Amino acid sequence: MSADASPHSQEPAPTAVGSPPVVLIAAYEEADRLPATLAALWEVFPGARIVVADDGSSDGTADVAEAHGAEVARSPVNVGKGGAATLGAQRLLALAQEPQPPVVLLCDGDLATSASALRQLVETVQRGEADLAVAAFARRVGGGFGLAVGFARWAIRRRCGLETVAPISGQRALRADLLPAVVPFAPRFGMEIGMTVDAVRAGYRVAEVELPLTHRATGKTLKGFLHRGRQLKDFVAVYLARGRAA
């Protein structure tokens, strides 16, 4: 499944096909599911460098990551997903200058064993089929009435003309030389919308790939609606910010 794509304005840098990606995991209070996520990633990407961006977790997420062999970029306080992921991504910016920049895989810490499916996302970029590949969950679990996701699709379409199925999916693979175009990430939950808009505006090709992933979903509960309300607030903020940028 491929979203509409923008032709790149210059020849893409070659990637080392078959080499392990560099993985950046965004995590907040994921001490329970993170070990399974890391194990699944190392099983399909042996030898990969994995950086866990811990957003000020209080449950020992950073300790769990280090105990399982990951590098940790930790914010001492909760700064939101975009801010924490930016801390981790800043460690990777030098990769953009390599003659054959690796693929950088971004994912959430709660995928558990389903993280192994992300190999297909990485291979999509390594084969040159996209500069930025975004995973769409094959099966929807949880969620509300679709208002936040619907706004996210509309915001991306309005700001860069791209039609999307999974506008806020955090599971993404991109060539490392794209990092300067999308880092720093937009604040908090606006990270994915901002990243997509910035990539398309820079002329990079974006594709969506349907994968059998699972995660910790929020349902139609008070906690779930409050979560989606915070998301929507951040979506509106990044939409307005990218309008000023344009």
Three-class HEC string of 127-138: CCCCCEEEEEEC
Residue 133: its pLDDT value, please? 98
Q: Which amino acid is at 143?
A: G
* Tens digit of each residue's pLDDT (9 = 90 or more) over 134-166: 999 876 655 555 789 999 999 999 999 999 999
Domains and CATH numbers, the chain: 22-245 (3.90.550.10)
- Can you give the length of the chain in residues? 246
pLDDT class of 2 with cuts at 50, 70, 90: very low
- Report which of 89, 79, 68 is spatially closest to residue 28, judged by C-alpha positions: 79
Residue 6: its pLDDT value, please? 47
Cα(214)–Cα(111) distance, integer angstroms: 6
Which residues have a Cβ under 8 Å from the Cβ of 185 and sit 6 or more positions away?
A: 82, 83, 85, 86, 89, 191, 194, 195
Which SS3 state, helix, strand or coil, does residue 158 take? helix
**pTM of the prediction?**
0.88
Mean pLDDT of the region 218-235: 73
Residue 230: its pLDDT value, please? 86
| Residue-averaged pLDDT of the chain | 89
- Report which of 63, 238, 87, 83 is spatially closest to residue 167, judged by C-alpha positions: 238
As a whole-number percent, the residues of the chain with pLDDT over 90 amount to 78
Cα(125)–Cα(174) distance, integer angstroms: 6
